[in-house]
Amino acid sequence: MKHPIIIDTDPGIDDAAAISIALNHPDLDVKMLTTVNGNVGIEKTTANALKLTQFFNSNVSVHRGASHPLLSDIFSASSVHGESGMDGYEFPEVDASTLSSHNAVAAMYDLLINSKEPITLIPIGPLTNIALLLTTYPEVKTQINEIILMGGSAGRGNVTPLAEFNIYCDPEAAHIVFNSGLPLTMVGLDVARSSTLIHAKLEKLKSLNDTGRMLHQLFSHYRGDDFEYGINIYDAYTILYLLHPELFQIVEARVDIETTGELTRGATVTDLKSAYPNCTVVMGIETDIFEKIFFDALTYCK
Ligand code: BDR
Ligand code: CA
């Protein structure tokens, strides 16, 4: 059976890798892409989502979401992903009329409430849209199978010593999602850091297929890591975890979101020994296994 999923995203170079796999994998049924302010502003993340659906000639709908975090000021990652958010590959101009709606939260509600089967949410950007969905329409919770999100860390952060980007951008939204009571999996920085894709392996992308060439060009402009050594394709782990959960090391843990600390705002405070877990935390995967499932998944792409 195909997994029905919604990807909530802020493309984003590693988002592009996750979306490429998801749109083409035979075991996944992407119901829609919803966009959020994150790596770059909402107009750019939405245009980037459309560039990807257009690249794959996909009819998956794209819905524009929140342009601003719930309370935080906007914090951009254009220094990492480039001015466009997906620098490095010349996509054709997008046809803006192909955007399906300007209200991602309402679109998710309509889809979920009318769905005959529960749907899995895959947020790979700040959690603003998901928090708005759960607070505006709490009745959709029974229609959500689980949430598998990229964000947070059981250890150190990547924006501040303790906060990871997606959580740091909108800690109040993350607090709502982590306290929603829904089955939740945190695919944080830990798992990608355990299995960095080294440069020599990235070179293989160039001869894989058109998608491999497109991703290779994006990755070579990705400033989050040192391309000459290798990179962490954080968002792709959510999709790979959904496809192969048995290959990952996990811990049931209590994750609370720090919203007030002057130095720690946005931290995912992870108690690996709590008697009251609210979350599955994905801690690692063998590098060789990650490489294999990543490249295998990309072979379904054009
Ligand atoms: C996360 O932050 C963004 O820059 C990436 O797209 C990913 O979702 C990693 O911290
Ligand atoms: Ca992202």
Q: Write out the DSSP string of 137-196.
A: -GGGGGGEEEEEEE---SS--SSSSSB-HHHHH-HHHHHHHHTS-S-EEEE-HHHHHTT-
Mean pLDDT estimate for the chain: 96
Strand order in the sheet with 249-257: 61-64, 28-35, 3-9, 119-123, 144-150, 184-187, 279-284, 249-257, 268-271
Residue ranges per domain, the chain?
3-298
Residue 229 is predicted with a pLDDT of 81
Confidence of residue 227 (pLDDT cuts 50, 70, 90): confident
Residue 31 to residue 104: CA distance in whole angstroms: 12
Question: How many angstroms is it from 40 CA to the middle of ligand 2?
Answer: 10
Give dist(CA 6, CA 9) in Å, integer: 10
Q: Which residues surround ligand 2, an ion (CB under 5 A)?
A: 10, 12, 15, 124-125, 235
| Ligand at shortest distance from the CA of 9 | 2
pLDDT (0 to 100) of residue 145 = 98
Distance 300 CA to ligand 2 centre (A): 22
Nearest CA to ligand 1 atom 4: 39
Tell me, rounded to whole angstroms, the distance of Cα 163 from its chain centroid: 16
Among all bound ligands, the one having the nearest atom to the CA of 237 is: 1
- Nearest-atom index, ligand 1, CA of 13: 6
pLDDT value at position 273?
95
Question: Within 10 Å of residue 153's Cβ, how many Cβ atoms?
Answer: 23
Q: CATH 3.90.245.10: does it fit domain 3-298?
A: yes
Please state, for a pLDDT cut of 90, what percent of the chain lies above it.
92
User: What pLDDT was estimated at residue 70?
Assistant: 98
Task: Report pLDDT for 222.
Answer: 84
Q: Which residues contact 288 (CB under 8 A, 6 or more apart)?
A: none
> For residue 57, which phi and psi values (nearest 5 degrees)?
55, 40
What band does 223 get if pLDDT is binned at 50, 70 and 90? confident
d(CA 292, CA 166): 27
Alpha-carbon torsion angle 269, 151, 132, 275, nearest 10: -40
Q: CA-CA distance, 33 to 45, in Å (whole number)?
A: 11
Enumerate residues lining ligand 1, CB below 6 A.
12, 14-15, 39, 77, 80, 124-125, 150, 158, 164-166, 234-235
Cα 206 to ligand 1 centre (Å)? 23
Q: What is the pLDDT of residue 230?
A: 85
- Residue 252 scores a pLDDT above 90: yes
Residues 6+ apart with CB under 8 A from 37: 10, 45, 65, 66, 67, 68, 69, 74, 125, 126, 128, 169
Lowest-confidence range among 56-60, 69-73, 200-204? 200-204
Ligand 1 mean position to 151 CA, how many Å? 7
* CA 246 / ligand 1 centre spacing (Å): 24
pLDDT of 181 strictly over 80: yes
Burial class (CB in 10 A: 0-12, 13-18, 19+), 11: buried
Q: What are phi and psi of 17, to 5 degrees?
A: -65, -45
pLDDT at 300 over 80: yes
Q: What pLDDT was estimated at residue 28?
A: 98
The confidence score (pLDDT) of residue 1 equals 83
Task: State residue 176's pLDDT score.
Answer: 98
95 C-alpha to ligand 2 centroid (Å): 23
Percent over 70 (pLDDT), the chain: 100
- The model's confidence at residue 239, banded by pLDDT at 50, 70 and 90, is very high
Nearest ligand to the CA of 167 is: 1
Ligand with minimal distance to 79 CA? 1
Which of the four pLDDT bands, split at 50, 70 and 90, describes residue 188? very high
pLDDT at position 150 is 98
Q: Of ligand 1's atoms, which has the minimum distance to the CA of residue 10?
A: 6
Q: What is the mean pLDDT of residues 166-178?
A: 98
pLDDT of residue 228: 76
Q: Pairing between strand 197-198 and 184-187?
A: unpaired
Q: Which residue's CA is the closest to the ligand 1 atom numbered 2?
A: 165
Helix 13-24 and helix 210-219, axial crossing angle in degrees, nearest 10: 160
pLDDT at residue 3, as a whole number: 97
pLDDT tens per residue across span 270-285: 999 999 999 999 999 9
Nearest-CA residue for ligand 1 atom 10 is 165
* Ligand 1 centroid from CA 41, angstroms: 14
CA angle at 96 for the pair 76 and 111, rounded to the nearest 5°: 85
pLDDT in tens, 91-150: 999 998 999 999 999 999 999 999 999 999 999 999 999 999 999 999 999 999 999 999
